[in-house]
């Protein structure tokens, strides 16, 4: 399998503040990798370094094992939308295609970006969600093999976000590779096969969601109950309790012991479910382990 991206020992400071500290990872062709972390973790800075928008202090990155950076191989969808006066969606897409040696077909770009009905709209008259779709269209213009998506669905409605991720899956099946950042963690859970977690300027986890759960040995036990929260807080196997409208979620590292401890209360418990923690709670657990 081809290595789509290799990052070795990348470091970056702004003045005297360390932003990235010895970042190392590689991504294989066809992967969808989520780059996650709290605000200020360095995600956008890392993408900007890899795509040569800013310079690292040390280290290197290679795209498809090439020594020389080739912009034709990548597409970059940044957080900021571009907007120009007196130019239509059709015109900007067709113009952008001319910059690349092997552009994606105009019709394919429209279909993947869901912009078929907006081709004659001026760029500056588009809604926020439509501007994100246009930004995606321009990202695809060069038919890139490695695609960087930085907060791609911000401003899109729920239906548009669902369609967007379906198109990402289509592109993955064509062999495209993705590195994605997003604050919509529930979306990343569904599409990414791997998560790289940046915290305190370094990578603290690199693997699948299942591997993250196994590393932390954390499981959720959820149920409905009219019992008071204090009962569950006192159970030895419980690490954390959350409650909303009599729906409880207990976090444990020993699910067998917890179930045994819940036995005396089972008559007052309904809809008990054992499940893996979601990405948000796993991230919080990883951060607590680091601190």
Which one of 156, 178, 207 terminates a domain?
207
The pLDDT value recorded for residue 142 is 98
CATH number of the domain that residue 264 is part of = 3.30.70.980
171-210 pLDDT, tens per residue? 999 999 999 999 899 999 999 999 999 998 999 999 998 8
Beta strands 177-181 and 194-199 are unpaired
Does 250 fall in a domain? yes
Q: State mean pLDDT over 89-111.
A: 97
Using the structure block, give the residue that is written with the tokens 């597409």. 75
Q: Per the confidence metrics, is the pTM higher than 0.85?
A: no
Does 169 fall in a domain? yes
Residue 140 Cα to chain centre, angstroms: 18
pLDDT at residue 225 greater than cutoff 70: yes
CA distance linking residue 257 with residue 275, whole number of Å: 15
- Residues making up the chain, counted from first to last: 291
pLDDT at residue 158 greater than cutoff 70: yes
Q: Given pLDDT bands bounded at 50, 70 and 90, which one contains residue 275? A: confident
Number of structural domains the chain divides into: 2
pLDDT at residue 228 greater than cutoff 90: yes
pLDDT at residue 214 greater than cutoff 80: no
Q: 3-state class of 263 per DSSP?
A: helix
CA distance linking residue 32 with residue 193, whole number of Å: 6
CB atoms within 10 A of CB 182: 21
Q: Tokens for 154, please give them.
A: 């911000």
pLDDT at residue 149 greater than cutoff 80: yes
| Domain shared by 156 and 275, yes or no | no
pLDDT at residue 291 greater than cutoff 70: no
The Cα-based distances of 112 to 134, 146, 209, 232 in angstroms read 10, 16, 27, 49
Q: Over the chain, what is the mean pLDDT? A: 93
Check: CB of residue 160 under 8 Å from CB of residue 129.
yes
Does 212 fall in a domain? no
| Domain shared by 191 and 237, yes or no | no
Domain with 170, as residue range(s), is 3-207
The pLDDT value recorded for residue 58 is 97
Beta strands 202-207 and 194-199 are antiparallel
CA distance linking residue 50 with residue 178, whole number of Å: 13
Does 155 fall in a domain? yes
| Domain shared by 36 and 80, yes or no | yes
The larger pLDDT score, comparing residue 221 to residue 280, is at 221
Going by the DSSP 8-state scheme, the letter that residue 211 receives in this structure is H
| Domain shared by 33 and 175, yes or no | yes
| Domain shared by 178 and 235, yes or no | no
């Amino acid at each position: 399998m081809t290595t789509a991206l290799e990052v070795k020992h990348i470091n970056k400071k702004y003045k005297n503040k360390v932003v990235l500290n010895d970042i190392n990872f590689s991504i294989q062709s066809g992967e969808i990798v989520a780059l996650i972390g709290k605000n200020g973790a360095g995600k956008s800075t890392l993408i900007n370094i890899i795509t040569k928008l800013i310079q690292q202090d040390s280290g290197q990155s290679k795209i498809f094992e090439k020594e020389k950076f080739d912009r034709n191989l990548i597409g970059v969808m940044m957080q900021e939308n571009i907007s120009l006066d007196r130019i239509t969606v059709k015109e900007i897409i067709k113009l952008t295609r001319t910059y690349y040696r092997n552009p994606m077909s105009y019709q394919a770009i429209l279909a993947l970006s869901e912009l078929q009905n907006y081709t004659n709209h001026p760029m500056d008259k588009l809604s926020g969600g439509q501007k994100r779709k246009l930004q995606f269209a321009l990202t695809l213009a060069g038919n890139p093999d490695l695609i960087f998506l930085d907060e791609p669905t911000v401003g899109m409605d729920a239906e548009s976000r669902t369609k967007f991720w379906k198109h990402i899956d289509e592109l993955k099946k064509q062999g495209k590779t993705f590195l994605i950042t997003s604050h919509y963690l529930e979306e990343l859970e569904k599409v990414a096969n791997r998560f790289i977690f940046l915290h305190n300027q370094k990578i603290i986890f690199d693997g699948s969601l299942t591997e993250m759960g196994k590393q932390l040995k954390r499981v959720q036990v959820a149920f409905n109950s009219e019992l008071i929260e204090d009962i569950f807080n006192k159970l030895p196997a419980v690490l954390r309790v959350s409650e909303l409208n009599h729906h409880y979620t207990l976090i444990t590292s020993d699910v067998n012991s917890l179930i045994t401890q819940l036995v005396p209360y089972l008559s007052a418990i309904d809809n008990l479910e054992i499940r893996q923690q979601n990405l948000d709670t796993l991230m919080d657990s990883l951060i607590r382990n680091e601190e």
